[in-house]
Structure 1
Amino acid sequence: MLCTTTTQLIGQTPVMSIAVPDRDTTLVLKIEKNNPGGSMKDRMARSMVLAALEDGRLSPGGTIVESSSGNTGIGLALSALEFGLRFIAVVDHHAAPDKIRMMRALGAEIRYVEGDFREDEVAVVERQRLAAQLGAQLPGALFMNQSDNPANPEGYAGFVDELMAQLPNGIDAFVGCVGTGGSMTGIAQRLKRHNPAVRTIAVEPAGSIVFGKPGHPYYQSGTGTPAGDKVGKVLDYGCIDEGVQVTDTQAFETARYIARRKGLLVGGSSGGTIYKALEFIAAGKLFGTVVTPVADGGEKYLGSVFDGDWMAKRGLLDPAITAQLDAWLAAKACAA
Structure 2
Amino acid sequence: MLHTTVTQLIGQTPVMSIDVPERDATLVLKIEKNNPGGSMKDRMARSMVVAALEDGRLAPGGTIVESSSGNTGTGLALAALEFGLRFIAVVDHHAAPDKIRMMRALGAEIRYVEGDFAEDQVAVVERQRLAAQLGAQLPGAMFMNQSDNPANPDGYAGLVDELIAQLPGGIDAFVGCVGTGGSMTGIAQRLKRHNPAVRTIAVEPAGSIVFGKPGHPYYQSGTGTPAGDEVGKVLDYGCIDEGVQVTDVQAFETARYIARRKGLLVGGSTGGAIFKALEFIVEGKLTGTVVTTVADGGEKYLGTIFDDEWMAKRRLLEPAIAAQLDGWLAGRARAA
**Counterpart in the other structure of 1:64:** 64
2:301 maps to 1:289: no
**Counterpart in the other structure of 2:90:** 90
Give the distance between the partners of 1:44 and 1:73, measured in 2 at CA. 11
Instruction: Tell me, yes or no, if the aligned pair for 2:20 and 2:331 is still in contact at 8 Å.
Output: no
CA-CA distance at 1:24 after TM superposition: 1.3
Give the distance between the partners of 1:130 and 1:209, measured in 2 at CA. 22
**Counterpart in the other structure of 2:144:** 144
The residue type equivalent to 1:184 in the other structure is M
The residue type equivalent to 1:288 in the other structure is G
Give the distance between the partners of 2:230 and 2:144, measured in 1 at CA. 16
Give the distance between the partners of 2:285 and 2:250, measured in 1 at CA. 19
Give the distance between the partners of 1:100 and 1:318, measured in 2 at CA. 28
**Counterpart in the other structure of 2:131:** 131
**Counterpart in the other structure of 2:153:** 153
**Counterpart in the other structure of 1:247:** 247
**Counterpart in the other structure of 1:189:** 189
String of CA shifts for 1:163-199, please: whole Å, max 9, x gaps: 0000000000000000000000000000000000000
Instruction: Tell me, yes or no, if the aligned pair for 2:21 and 2:331 is still in contact at 8 Å.
Output: no
Instruction: Tell me, yes or no, if the aligned pair for 2:147 and 2:181 is still in contact at 8 Å.
Output: yes
Give the distance between the partners of 1:151 and 1:24, measured in 2 at CA. 36
2:225 maps to 1:225: yes
**Counterpart in the other structure of 1:14:** 14
Give the distance between the partners of 1:331 and 1:35, measured in 2 at CA. 33
| Structure 1 residues 256-271: aligned runs within 5 Å | 256-271=256-271
SS of alignment partner, residue 165 of structure 2: helix
**Counterpart in the other structure of 1:122:** 122
**Counterpart in the other structure of 1:36:** 36
| Structure 1 residues 40-59: aligned runs within 5 Å | 40-59=40-59
Give the distance between the partners of 2:301 and 2:16, measured in 1 at CA. 21
How many correspondences in the alignment?
Answer: 332
Give the distance between the partners of 2:157 and 2:259, measured in 1 at CA. 29
String of CA shifts for 1:140-176, please: whole Å, max 9, x gaps: 0000000000000000000000000000000000000
**Counterpart in the other structure of 1:274:** 274
CA-CA distance at 1:2 after TM superposition: 1.3
SS of alignment partner, residue 179 of structure 2: coil
**Counterpart in the other structure of 1:77:** 77
SS of alignment partner, residue 125 of structure 2: helix
String of CA shifts for 1:106-150, please: whole Å, max 9, x gaps: 000000000000000000000000000000000000000000000
Give the distance between the partners of 2:305 and 2:315, measured in 1 at CA. 12
Give the distance between the partners of 2:287 and 2:30, measured in 1 at CA. 17
**TM-score, length-scaled by structure 2:** 0.98
String of CA shifts for 1:72-116, please: whole Å, max 9, x gaps: 000000000000000000000000000000000000000000000
**Counterpart in the other structure of 2:323:** 323
The residue type equivalent to 2:9 in the other structure is L
The residue type equivalent to 1:257 in the other structure is Y
2:200 maps to 1:200: yes
SS of alignment partner, residue 27 of structure 1: strand
Give the distance between the partners of 2:95 and 2:261, measured in 1 at CA. 27
Give the distance between the partners of 1:242 and 1:208, measured in 2 at CA. 15
**TM-score, length-scaled by structure 1:** 0.98
The residue type equivalent to 1:72 in the other structure is T
Give the distance between the partners of 2:216 and 2:116, measured in 1 at CA. 16
CA-CA distance at 1:331 after TM superposition: 8.3
Give the distance between the partners of 2:267 and 2:19, measured in 1 at CA. 21
Instruction: Tell me, yes or no, if the aligned pair for 2:22 and 2:331 is still in contact at 8 Å.
Output: no
SS of alignment partner, residue 184 of structure 1: helix
**Counterpart in the other structure of 2:166:** 166
SS of alignment partner, residue 29 of structure 2: strand
The residue type equivalent to 2:327 in the other structure is A
Identity %: 89
CA RMSD, 1 decimal = 0.8
Q: 5+ unaligned residues in a row in structure 2: which ranges? A: none
Q: 5+ unaligned residues in a row in structure 1: which ranges? A: none
Give the distance between the partners of 1:140 and 1:86, measured in 2 at CA. 10
